[in-house]
Structure 1
Amino acid sequence: MNELVICKISGLTPQICELEAEAVAEGFRFLTRLIAEWKSGVNRFDQQGECLLGVFRNGRLIALGGLSSDPFAEPDAGRLRRVYVARASRGQNVGKALVQQLLELASGHFRVVRLSTDTPEGAAFYLRCGFRPIQDDFATHMKSLVDVP
């Protein structure tokens, strides 16, 4: 059985720390920030419309991503945060499944979802997920969740 299970995470687990170690080895510090913000209470993805999702394969956490209100935009804007897929699970649509689930949850609360990425690989990934590049000091990509007539 190699089925993916995507579910909400309501606490820090040792598996999140394992993903963080892998991310740090790749030069990414955003899972370190997620853990620090969670421990301090700054962001636990527990406000209206917010969530932290994990992707599990055979009980093992292989990806993580959060949705929060975007503090840099209008109140009806959500923000994808801290999306990370374990290196061994990339290229298998794990990230795409995670982002699709986050967008589905976002559609009940937000009109748009924004994000910021600083790698060409991340930018290409979000374009494949339907985001478009934007010029903004606080976001690199945006996706509208409502059809404009």
Structure 2
Amino acid sequence: MNEILIQKVNHLDTRKLLLLVEESTSEGFRHLKRLVNDYETGVNKFDKDGEAVFIAYQNNDIV
């Protein structure tokens, strides 16, 4: 079945997002690239009260 699993992550492994970043950037969207850049530089680690990062998986792929 093609169920989607949404999981809260405490540490974002940005390497796993590279394909999505490339695809979204090629389509003219910059939000994922900004998320990765901000996370890697420490601008936003989503570790303050009320903040969180969630990843959606389908068939073990990040979607």
TM-score by length of 2: 0.86
1:12 deviates by 2.2
Partner of 1:73: none
CA contact (8 A) 1:38 1:44 kept: yes
Which structure would you say has the larger Rg? 1
Gaps of 5+ in 2: none
1:37 deviates by 0.7
CA contact (8 A) 1:8 1:51 kept: yes
Q: Aligned equivalents of 1:61 and 1:25: distance in 2?
A: 18
Gaps of 5+ in 1: 63-149
% same residue: 37
Q: Deviations over 1:36-60 (max 9, x none)?
A: 1111111011111101111100110
Superposed counterparts of 1:103-114, under 5 Å: none
When the two chains are superposed, the root-mean-square deviation of aligned CA atoms in Å is 1.2
Greater RCO, CA 8 A, separation 6+: 2
Higher strand proportion: 1
Partner of 1:6: 6
TM-score by length of 1: 0.39
In the alignment of these two chains, the number of paired residues is: 62
Higher helix proportion: 2
